[in-house]
Amino acid sequence: MRPRQHRRRPRPRGRDLPAALLGVLRAGAAYLPLDPATPPDRVAAVLQDAGCRHVLTASVAVERDHLLPVTLVGLDAALRDAHRTHIPVPETATGPDDPAYLLFTSGSTGRPKGVVIRHRGAVNLVRWAGRAYRDDELARTLAVTPTTFDLSVFELFVPLARGCQVHILDSVLDLSDAPAHARGATLLNTVPSAVATLAERGTLPASLRTVNVAGEPLTAGLVRTLHDTLPGVRVVNLYGPSETTTYSTYAELPPGTTDPVPIGRPVGGTTLAVVDADLRPVPPGGTGELLIGGAGVARGYAGRADLTAARFLPDPDSPGRTRYRTGDLVRWRPDGQLEFIGRTDHQVKVRGFRIELGDVEKALRTVAPLKDAAVLALGEGTGRRLAAYLVPEQPLDGDPAPWLRGIRRRLGRELPGYMVPGQYAVLEELPRNRHGKLDRHRLAHIPASALRTGSRIAPRDEPERRVAACWRQVLPTTEVAVSDEFLDLGGHSLMLSRLAHLLGRAFDVHVPLTELRTRTTVAEQAAYLSELARQPAPPTPATPGSPRRLDRSRYTAAGRSRGTP
């Protein structure tokens, strides 16, 4: 490869993951992580925008229909050859402003946008973290975040730069079934909803010295839970969009932290400004939009000069540099820390994934004949979910469920799983205010339901009733039939992890998360758990990567390899 080319990496997580990424960087190229389960049309758009030349994969036997004119490189064969052949280290002219990696995020127009991160930004993050974290904290860092999510940059590169260990797991939710050495971890870096799920299940490693939380608003209640569960633990709340290289602010949170939890002060090499709609500084304590400057600011969006110009503004304090316009509303607190207030647009975060609601709405109009469509994010924490409100072009006859299931199925071929709504409502028209604009506040009060099977058979025996009772505790519904699919009722991976914990208590057994991914109805889970409870000893938990696994593209949560924030 030549310097500044891009290499896509559809590769299962394993110990060769950091080696592959470092190899791409050492060759002077930039890496582009992309989940192999991403819908083909979206893959094609991403590869085209990025100008990708090579695809690094576990095997050359991958689908080519959406890969465009790229060169496939089989990683397994390359690693075998590397042990037998001396390959000289290439001399490159990579500079601090050259791209190190690209991350694609949801776009408001329905087209994903690729954030081009510079070497300067990545190095600044590593240097700051090397000063902010002790080596005994980084000693055994868990890498639980998909490489398509910018938290992975901290997990993979910061510990290695300090000579520390990285323990790679397929998912943060597999932590309870992970090898013993992963349970001896010293640092966990993930989203609050995943931490809350692990705390509820009692699977946070007791060896943790530091817990980094980022990607979602953090509550004081979770901070207290962490300090109660892990006495002496260091809890750090981190904030930053992908466009400013992972983290831009941080706040250390003691046991007595109260709501609202601050997002803190700038990390090293970062400048912050709070401005009004005309980009003028607001008075201290006033609410305004956050502009971020400094070494971490990205080059812009790949192939999107117009969008880059709108979001990356000239920095008046640093000629030739830019500040990123975040769209986040914040205010300075009296103690000198920032407080997150909300958004200036319709961007939301669901389980740590950044989603432009307009992206989902456009996809809905593409897959179905609709007069109108709107999408909202409802609920909080692990219960946060997307709901779609649809106005069909022609009135529907009879039960709308089959029509809605068809929409969801087609939508799953267009969007990553975490962007597919779990609840739906069919309306004659969307509520609007007196100016004719969509009234999202009124819309949020219109009930949206999960998709259900046509067969409505209630639980028939005690095991099925126990399973259904556990489902009702985690799902946004109280009506559960034995043939309902967990995902169709609004479930996701964080809910599934909580369900495993509740089922384990209800049947007095250990329930591996992998087994619930292959048994997705009340009837299937009840039959499995009844048999498991009759066994004299619990079976050996399935290990991450077991071939007996449901297509995990349907299960999405922060901390597993699915999509980008």
Domains of the chain by start residue, with CATH: 1-94 (3.40.50.980), 131-343 (3.40.50.12780), 356-450 (3.30.300.30), 462-554 (1.10.1200.10)
The pLDDT of residue 432 is 84
The pLDDT of residue 252 is 98
Specify whether the backbone of 260 is left (phi greater than 0), alpha (psi in -120 to 50) or beta. Answer: beta
Characterize the bridge pairing of strands 265-266 and 249-252. Answer: antiparallel
Q: What are phi and psi of 289, to 5 degrees?
A: -85, 140
Percent of the chain with pLDDT over 70: 85
The pLDDT of residue 75 is 76
Q: Specify whether the CB–CB gap between 233 and 210 falls below 8 A.
A: yes
What is the C-alpha separation between 293 and 314, in angstroms, rounded? 10
The pLDDT of residue 413 is 83
Q: Quick check: 132 pLDDT over 60?
A: yes
DSSP letter string over 89-104? PPP----TTSEEEEEE
The pLDDT of residue 435 is 62
Query: Per-residue pLDDT averaged across 182-208, rounded?
Result: 89
Helix H or strand E segment including 256: none
The pLDDT of residue 51 is 84
Tens digit of each residue's pLDDT (9 = 90 or more) over 238-250: 999 999 999 999 9
Q: Quick check: 136 pLDDT over 50?
A: yes
The pLDDT of residue 91 is 76
Tens digit of each residue's pLDDT (9 = 90 or more) over 338-354: 999 988 887 888 877 88
Q: Quick check: 157 pLDDT over 60?
A: yes
What is the C-alpha separation between 253 and 389, in angstroms, rounded? 39
Q: Quick check: 331 pLDDT over 90?
A: yes
Q: Quick check: 69 pLDDT over 90?
A: no
- pLDDT grade for 82, boundaries at 50, 70 and 90: low
What is the C-alpha separation between 347 and 308, in angstroms, rounded? 17
What is the C-alpha separation between 375 and 390, in angstroms, rounded? 9
Q: Specify whether the CB–CB gap between 423 and 385 falls below 8 A.
A: yes
The pLDDT of residue 11 is 46
Question: What average pLDDT is seen over the chain?
Answer: 84
What is the C-alpha separation between 503 and 486, in angstroms, rounded? 14
Tens digit of each residue's pLDDT (9 = 90 or more) over 1-36: 444 555 544 444 677 788 889 988 988 899 999 877
Q: Specify whether the CB–CB gap between 216 and 351 falls below 8 A.
A: yes
Tens digit of each residue's pLDDT (9 = 90 or more) over 271-320: 999 999 899 999 989 999 999 999 999 999 998 999 999 999 999 999 99
- Say which range, 214-218, 301-305, 472-476, 546-550, has the weakest mean pLDDT: 546-550
- pLDDT grade for 562, boundaries at 50, 70 and 90: very low
Half-sphere exposure of 414 (CA within 13 A, CB side): 20
How many residues does this entry show for the chain?
Answer: 565
Question: What are the tokens at 124?
Answer: 């600044």
The pLDDT of residue 559 is 35
Q: Quick check: 371 pLDDT over 70?
A: yes
The pLDDT of residue 61 is 46
**Position 55, amino acid:** V
Q: Quick check: 63 pLDDT over 50?
A: yes
489 to each of 97, 421, 457, 496, how far by Cα in Å?
47, 11, 15, 12
What is the C-alpha separation between 369 and 390, in angstroms, rounded? 10
Q: At how many degrees (to 10) do helices 17-26 and 151-161 cross?
A: 80
3-state SS, residue 495: helix
Helix H or strand E segment including 19: helix 17-26
Is 61 or 114 the better-scoring residue by pLDDT?
Answer: 114
The pLDDT of residue 287 is 92
Choose the most confident range, by mean pLDDT, from 44-58, 173-187, 276-290, 340-354: 276-290
Q: Quick check: 64 pLDDT over 70?
A: no
DSSP 8-state code for residue 488:
G
Characterize the bridge pairing of strands 423-426 and 385-392. Answer: parallel
The pLDDT of residue 521 is 87
The pLDDT of residue 213 is 97
Q: Quick check: 485 pLDDT over 50?
A: yes
Tens digit of each residue's pLDDT (9 = 90 or more) over 497-533: 889 889 999 999 988 887 888 888 899 999 999 988 8
Is 546 or 37 the better-scoring residue by pLDDT?
Answer: 37
What is the C-alpha separation between 465 and 452, in angstroms, rounded? 18
Q: Quick check: 84 pLDDT over 80?
A: no
Characterize the bridge pairing of strands 449-450 and 423-426. Answer: antiparallel
Q: Quick check: 114 pLDDT over 80?
A: yes
* pTM: predicted TM-score of the whole model, two decimal places: 0.74
